[in-house]
Amino acid sequence: MDDSKIFLPESEIPQAWYNINPDLPAPLQPPLNPATGEPLGPEDLAPIFPMALIEQEMSMEPWIDIPDDVMDVYKLWRPSPLHRAYRLEEHLDTPARIYYKNESVSPPGSHKPNTAVAQAYYNREEGVRRIVTETGAGQWGSALSFGCCVFGIEAEVYMVRISYDQKPYRRLLMQVWGADCYPSPSDRTEAGRSILAEDPDSPGSLGIAISEAVEKAAQDDEAKYALGSVLNHVLLHQTIVGLEALKQFEIADDYPDIVVGNVGGGSNFAGVCFPFVREKLAGRRDTQIIATEPTACPTLTRGIYHYDFGDTAELTPLLKMYTLGHKFIPAPIHAGGLRYHGDAPQLCLLVSQGVIEARALHQTDVFEAAVMWSRTEGHVPAPETAHGVRAAIDEALKCKETGEEKCILIGYSGHGHFDLAAYDNYLTGHLVDYELPQEKIDEAVADLPDVQ
């Protein structure tokens, strides 16, 4: 039997991130100013992002060096292991080889610090004292708090009120790393105060929290804003995942026929798959790339490819993406990180060009896979992560039918240790499924801005 884990020495961590912009099979349509409909210039973004990240957002350089200070922090958990899921293979009795790239080993337990650390670094380099952001269940807030902590700057996090009250542990993690975390809506911003005036018991929403964070960052000369997914520079930082995996497959003398993972805004999936997409676009390898999403929020499989706002409050630039409409409110599935109405423009372009395919999965099927995985591989996946696991199991079962010996790579975005209430729901038979009726989608996309 070959090794169960393929480790890369620290000296072999890739020295540069991979920027897919110059390799895209069609030009990426730019973000637009929502007021004028004109493409955004760097000066439009300068009040809320540091210049280095704005440059990365628009860069056409294929490789961007990872700064030494970022590399030093990456080494707290990178390179992450590439595991072979032997016990699952045996349980399924499949001829397929299943691997997973384990991003759950980072301090906050997900892929998110790959970008949080980089963003905190560039902000500090430009003299920023404080980063303001929003968070839903707290994955991004905790990753950013960690990133700010290691670079000695302050983190101010607006956490959706209902999660703040119901899910205290990620909030406490933020506080352990020294961040200030406020329930949103708060009385600290115009946006928050106006919501509270109408509804003092508002449970909050990601849209409201974004409005609060952006308002704070724009008003404060020493502060900037940070986003944990969707934007090009975020996906860029995540490519460290797939670049390491490429080297690890070389050590294993293997190569994936299929790369599969979950998509919320698209950052962890882009991170693991873009280096393999590069090989595919260059004609060197033909890998099937499968993005998964919940049937309750089926952006890539049932959304419309159209310009839309990134947020409910219509404050952000317009992005060309698969969208269910910025007013769409998905059912309360446990994979909170997959409840975004749109997706990263780079990823959407590759889906629209047929380079990446997409699949929607039912919550109950996903948890069945998550429990099977936990009972064979031991690691308990986050509900988001379990989407990729489900699709990998489905592909491995197909191999069992056909006898094909495919090699499957799963992007394993995080652990589920803070999501055990969701597992409780499943194990006690209370988990429900959501299928989105077409009328709901038609209704939600009727509000799209009038820009192609």
Ligand X SMILES: *Cc1c(COP(=O)(O)O)cnc(C)c1O
Residues at the contact surface with ligand X, assessed by CB under 6 A: 110, 112, 139, 229, 262-269, 337-338, 382, 384-385, 413-414
Name the residue nearer to ligand X (CB basis): 81 or 449.
81
Q: Which residues contact 264 (CB under 8 A, 6 or more apart)?
A: 229, 335, 337, 338, 339, 340, 384
The least distance separating ligand X from the CB of residue 279, rounded to whole angstroms, comes to 21
Bridge partners, residue 39, by sequence: 32
Q: Considering the complex, what minimum distance in angstroms separates the CB of residue 336 from ligand X?
A: 8
In the complex, least distance from residue 383 CB atom to ligand X, rounded to whole angstroms? 8
C-alpha span between 23 and 14 (Å, rounded): 19
Please say which residue, 267 or 312, places its beta carbon nearer to ligand X: 267
Tokens of 65: 């060096």
Q: What is the dihedral of CA 88, 90, 96, 101, to 10 degrees?
A: 30
Rounded to a whole number of angstroms, the minimum distance from the CB of residue 420 to ligand X is 14
Least gap, CB of 121 to ligand X (angstroms): 20
Place of tokens 């860069």: 59
Q: Measured from the CB of residue 239, what is the shortest distance to ligand X in angstroms?
A: 13
Nearest CB to ligand X, comparing residues 172 and 197: 172
Min separation Cβ 47 and ligand X, Å: 24
Q: Is 130 exposed, middle or buried (0-12, 13-18, 19+ CB in 10 A)?
A: middle
Contact 383/367 with Cβ under 8 angstroms? yes
As measured in angstroms, the least distance from the Cβ of 347 to ligand X is 9
Measured from the CB atom, the residue of 189 and 385 that comes closer to ligand X is: 385
Asked if residues 273 and 259 have their Cβ atoms less than 8 Å apart, the reply is yes
Nearer to ligand X, 214 or 338 (CB): 338
Q: How many CB atoms lie within 10 A of CB 187?
A: 9
> Could you tell me if 102 and 378 are in contact, meaning their C-beta atoms sit under 8 angstroms apart?
no
Q: Which is nearer to ligand X, 79 or 266 (CB)?
A: 266
Q: How far apart are CA 268 and CA 272, in angstroms?
A: 6
Pair 288, 258: CB distance under 8 Å: yes
Cβ nearer to ligand X, comparing 189 with 299: 299
Beta-carbon-side half-sphere exposure of residue 215 (alpha carbons within 13 Å): 19
Closest CA to 436 of 336, 309, 339: 339
Pick 204 or 271: Cβ nearer ligand X: 271
Rounded least distance, CB 439 to ligand X, Å: 27
Shortest Å, Cβ 113 to ligand X: 10
**With respect to ligand X, which residue has the nearer C-beta, 94 or 205?**
205
Is residue 138 within 8 A of residue 163, CB to CB? The reply is: yes
Candidates 358, 404, 411, 405; CA nearest to 389 is 411
In terms of Cβ atoms closer than 10 Å to its own Cβ (0-12, 13-18, 19+), residue 60 is: exposed
User: Closer CB to ligand X, residue 406 or residue 418?
Assistant: 418
Peptide bond before 332: cis, by omega within 30 degrees of 0? no
If the CB atoms of residues 136 and 192 are measured against ligand X, the closer one turns out to be 136
**Shortest separation between residue 263's beta carbon and ligand X, angstroms:** 5
Q: Which two tokens stand for residue 137?
A: 């269940």
CA angle 248, 251, 255 (to 5 degrees): 70
